[in-house]
Structure 1
Amino acid sequence: MNLIKKIFGQENGLTSRQFYFPYFFNERDFRKLISPFNLTTEVKFDEKTKMASELDLINNNETKLTIEFGQSLMIENENLITWSTDKDTLTIKKFDLEFNSDSKIIEIEIPKLELGTNQLENNLGLTNFITYIRSEKIKYDLDYYETFAIIVITDDVVEMIPFDWFNEKGGDYGYVWPALAQIDTYGNLIGSGMRMENFKTELRKKAYNTVYSK
């Protein structure tokens, strides 16, 4: 059994476990993932809202990295991957968890992505990296449908797939949204989100909803 895969939760056939700070973040579980690198965490809170606002990664009482509110993150192959999305840009960063080298970054311009496959000029060596974005290229006949797309990145290829199963239910912008995603060995999307039940859908076909329990 591959020890790294066992530690990072990939032995069950799923791609790496994702977190979204702070809403979908279990500090105890995340600490287990980074403990082999002699790292721990400290969550800082906003004085006014009393909500978690920053996550520090600490080695020997030294802060190595600060994760901001609204960042997604995962541990993969001894690296930390973080990403965030605004209206026009998907920004992905890769950090060596020994912090012996500089971080690597790619910025993907969302308006330039087409449905189907797109080429990256540079890459972070990602395989089956999966997340969600909103895209104006996603269009439906009914105005109340959402416009989410699933993004899958492997090496220098970015695939943009309409998230029909979610979009066609009609969204509540900013209230209900998908957050976490993994791909299983059968090519299914396993996910969860804000004010949503956990779900399992076919990734590249018009999906059906199968509620499941972890």
Structure 2
Amino acid sequence: MKPFKPPVAVATRTIVGLNIAVQVVLTLIGAKAASAVSFAGALIPMRLVQNIDGPVPAVLTLFTSIFLHAGWLHLALNLVFLAWVGKYVEWVVGRWRFVALYLGGGLAGGLLQVAADPQSIIEVVGASGAIAAVFGCYAVLFARSRASGKRILGIDVSSEAVTALWFAAVWIGLQLATGYVFGGMGQGVAIWAHVGGFITGLIFAQPFVRETPKL
């Protein structure tokens, strides 16, 4: 039997291509101009809370920040995971709902990051929150049988929840480890953006659970 291959994931490929295109442009315009663009489009919690507009309106940075990255390494790490799970999630939920999941996860992650540290002036960039949402959705849709249920603090936790928690731990742990090992992202690891995105994915996946194809 031939291995299963999902249909061409148009939305996933388009999002990957768009992120790469933005990074190419930032590389070509030089470090100084790229830094200015990154600062203008980055999510800075205090700027959003105080509604301090710059070249980009503060509220729009919740979205522009999703397509900005702290260099090629940061971008590559994110896109590897997006390309890996995105095509399967898009196959189940559909092209446009996948785009909604991606943007919604980025938005929810950004808002939770702002809520957690509203006075921060550190630039938050990257698609990690959006991709965490895709991971959360994937965990519910495709990994439900990979872990047994547990009883934690007297509460029964389903196998779906256990698997999702494992995905969350691996994803967030990898992001933190990469950030601190490679220095440049160390202080800007937006942990709450990851959490907010992942939770969004878990919630988004629920209507599709009973419709998930059996592989």
1 or 2, which has the higher helix percentage?
A: 2
Whether the TM-score (by the shorter chain) exceeds 0.5 is no
The alignment's TM-score, normalised by the length of structure 1, stands at: 0.25
Q: Which has the higher contact order (CA 8 A, sep 6+)?
A: 2
Decide which structure has greater strand share. Answer: 1
